[in-house]
Amino acid sequence: MKYTIVLLAFLMFSYSSFSQNEVSDLKPGDVLIISKDSNTPFQYLYFPKPNFIIKRGSIANYKGLNGMRVQIEAISDESVARLIPLNGKKFFNIFSYVNADLKSALNNKELKQLNSGQKS
């Protein structure tokens, strides 16, 4: 009995220390980083389909978005956020914002939260 209580307490504390930041911690104005290594479309960042990007005169290069810093402009009640780039440019030189499912994108590592020490 003693061992099961110790095991349950250990599991509770380890879960809380390794859990992902919740969407409730994020607010408009927070900075995130897009992380994508391959050139496949994003699953939880809602960019237009590649044929619409090409039709508007740009190249659908998703790998070029890797490392881009974005700012949360607004968050709806369903954890869908509007993201704008911080470098002053547009996504694919066309789109000024993109919508994203924050919870799923953070869990699948399409977005990373910027640490407070990296805000320079």
Judge whether residue 23 has pLDDT over 60: no
Judge whether residue 82 has pLDDT over 60: yes
With a CB cutoff of 8 Å and minimum separation 6, the contacts of 75 are 23, 26, 27, 28, 81, 82, 102
What is the Cα–Cα distance from 92 to 115, expressed in whole angstroms?
26
pTM of the shown model: 0.70
Least confident span in 11-20, 38-47, 87-96, 106-115: 11-20
Least confident span in 38-42, 65-69, 73-77, 92-96: 38-42
What is the Cα–Cα distance from 11 to 99, expressed in whole angstroms?
35
- The number of CA neighbours under 13 Å toward the Cβ of 80 is 8
